[in-house]
Amino acid sequence: MIRMLFIVSAVCILSNCATSSSGDKLTQIDVDKLPIHCSKEVPTGSHLPITVCRSKEQIERERELARRLIKKTKID
């Protein structure tokens, strides 16, 4: 009986996690249209690579922020 209760509880919890919130505006079609680039990166202090996926807009924004930071900290 306890085992059955545990299984039913686990299924209820997992099914709740699998549902998306009503505020989620991206549908599967929208996600498929986004140009995503995934790459393996090794975080600082680790030897284990992780997969990081970013959109083209995110990559460009990060490059621009890096350029601004380098330009701002450049010593003449």
Query: In this predicted model, what pLDDT tens digit does every residue of 32-51 receive, in sequence order?
Result: 566 888 999 999 999 999 99
Domain ranges of the chain: 35-76
Residue 59: Cβ within 10 Å count? 14
- What residues are paired with 55 via a beta bridge? 36
Indicate the residue type of 61.
R
Asked if 28 contacts 16 with a C-beta cutoff of 8 angstroms, the reply is no
Asked if 38 contacts 56 with a C-beta cutoff of 8 angstroms, the reply is no
Query: In this predicted model, what pLDDT tens digit does every residue of 4-28 receive, in sequence order?
Result: 555 656 655 655 544 444 444 545 5
